[in-house]
Structure 1
Amino acid sequence: MLSDKRWTELLHTRATNPSAVRQAYATRKRRSRLLSDNGTLFLVAAEHPARGAPDRRTLLDRLLVALASPAVDGVVGTPDIVEDLLLLGALHDKIVFGSMNRDDGFTGYDARTLVDCELDGGDMLLRTVDSGPGPASNLQDCADAVTELAAYGLVAMIEPVPQENPDSLARVVTIASALGTTSAHTWLKLPPTGSTGVLGATTLPVVLGGMPPDRMPWHRVVRGLVIGRTLLHPPGGDTRAAVEAAAKVLEAAK
Structure 2
Amino acid sequence: MSITIPDLVTVRARHPEAIAEAAARRTRRPLVGPTGRLMIVAADHPARGALGVGDRRLAMANRADLLERLCVALSRPGVDGVLATADILEDLLLLGVLEERVAMGSLNRGGLAGASFEMDDRFTGHRPEDIERLRFDAGKLLLRIDYDDAGSLRTLGTAAGAVDAMASRRLPLFVEPFLSRREPGGFRNDLGAEAVTRSIAIASGLGGTSAYTWLKLPVTRDPDAMAQVLETSTLPAVLLGGEVGRDQEGAYERWRKALRLPTVQGMVVGRSLLYPAEGDVETAVDTAVGLL
Who is 2:273 aligned against? 231
Distance (Å, rounded) in 2 between the aligned partners of 1:96 and 1:242: 21
Who is 1:136 aligned against? 153
Query: How far did 1:105 drift?
Result: 1.1
1:26-175 matches, cutoff 5 A: 26-31=24-29, 33-52=30-49, 53=51, 54-102=61-109, 103=111, 104-129=121-146, 135-161=152-178, 162-175=189-202
Q: Does 1:203 align with 2:234?
A: yes
CA separation of 1:155 and 1:124: change in aligned 2, threshold 3 A: same
What amino acid does structure 1 have at the position aligned with 2:235?
L
| Structure 1: gaps spanning 5 or more residues | none
Distance (Å, rounded) in 1 between the aligned partners of 2:151 and 2:177: 10
| Structure 2: gaps spanning 5 or more residues | 52-60, 112-120, 179-188, 242-250
| Aligned partners of 2:47 and 2:108 also within 8 Å | no
Distance (Å, rounded) in 2 between the aligned partners of 1:51 and 1:202: 29
Query: How far did 1:150 drift?
Result: 0.5
Secondary structure of 1:168's counterpart equals helix
Secondary structure of 1:208's counterpart equals strand
Q: Could you give the per-residue CA deviations for residues 88-108 of structure 1, whole angstroms, max 9, x where no partner exists? A: 001010011100022301111
Secondary structure of 1:248's counterpart equals helix
Distance (Å, rounded) in 2 between the aligned partners of 1:128 and 1:238: 36
CA separation of 1:134 and 1:159: change in aligned 2, threshold 3 A: farther
Name the TM-score, length of structure 2 as normaliser.
Answer: 0.80
Q: Could you give the per-residue CA deviations for residues 190-248 of structure 1, whole angstroms, max 9, x where no partner exists? A: 01355122211110000000155355252100000000000111013501100000000
Distance (Å, rounded) in 1 between the aligned partners of 2:146 and 2:234: 23
What amino acid does structure 1 have at the position aligned with 2:41?
V
| Aligned partners of 1:45 and 1:76 also within 8 Å | yes
What amino acid does structure 2 have at the position aligned with 1:165?
G
Query: How far did 1:170 drift?
Result: 0.2
| Aligned partners of 2:175 and 2:216 also within 8 Å | yes
Name the TM-score, length of structure 1 as normaliser.
Answer: 0.92
CA separation of 1:249 and 1:171: change in aligned 2, threshold 3 A: same
